[in-house]
Amino acid sequence: MFYDAHKRDHGFKVDPLKSLIVPRPIGWISTVDPEGRVNLAPYSFYNAVAEFPPIVYFSTTGTYGDTATKHSRMNAESTGEFVVNMVSESLKERMNITTAMFAYGIDEMKEAGLTPAPCRYVKPPRVAESPMALECRYWKTIELPIEPGNEKNAGSMVFGQVVGVHIDESILKNGRVDVAAFKPVARLGYSEYTTTDNVWAMRRPDDPRYQ
């Protein structure tokens, strides 16, 4: 089959596009507002885009609450900081609680029964239960093109530079991160998720770093 992405004439009840760009890592973004109130929310339009310096982004789609854009973006922009926490399999239900549309200023970390742990270089706390956290300094926001008739769902990309990295000792083995030890959760389409528990290696012929 083929469908026109603009007309969305696929004939299905649910647009299949997000089911085709999978699996997507989940950035579990913790921020504070200018009053220091904690916010935590998952974003699967998230990834690393550069290494030197390390840059990550999360991308917001519209809003559905009490503010003009999503709280994570507002806080990252107003305070200049955010933290990306890793969702391991054991945290999946608690991650799901933090996606709910809480009013601005409500602490989702507390609502989900998670423990705040201090960061070194930035004010937002990281999730203590998470096996990995990236402390980020906000860089810039890119407003994405607006689709006529869908203005409320306009997107934006919020970029940050990683300035500090926390790794729980339990996921380190012989100087390497052992993915099998924490099973990162990734987003598929619809309400589906997957867990990374099938790891295999394939060496690049031209890169001695990975031999």
Ligand X SMILES: Cc1cc2nc3c(=O)[nH]c(=O)nc-3n(C[C@H](O)[C@H](O)[C@H](O)COP(=O)(O)O)c2cc1C
Q: Binding pattern to ligand X, positions 5-44, x when CB under 6 A?
A: ---------------------x------------x-xxxx
Distance of CA 155 to the CA centre of its chain: 15
Q: Residue 86 is encoded by which pair of tokens?
A: 């890793």
Report the residue number, 94 or 166, with the smaller CB distance to ligand X. 94
CB of 197 to ligand X, least distance (A): 18
Q: Residue 168 is encoded by which pair of tokens?
A: 């729980």
Q: What is d(CA 41, CA 99) in angstroms, rounded to the nearest whole number?
A: 5
Under 8 Å between Cβ of 122 and 164: yes
Q: Binding pattern to ligand X, positions 168-197, x when CB under 6 A?
A: -------------------x----------
Contacts to ligand X from residues 44-63, by CB under 6 A: 44-45, 59-61
Element (H, E) at 168: none
How many other C-beta atoms are found inside a 10 Å radius of the C-beta of residue 89?
13
Binding footprint of ligand X on the chain (CB under 6 A): 26, 39, 41-45, 59-61, 70-72, 96, 99, 101, 187
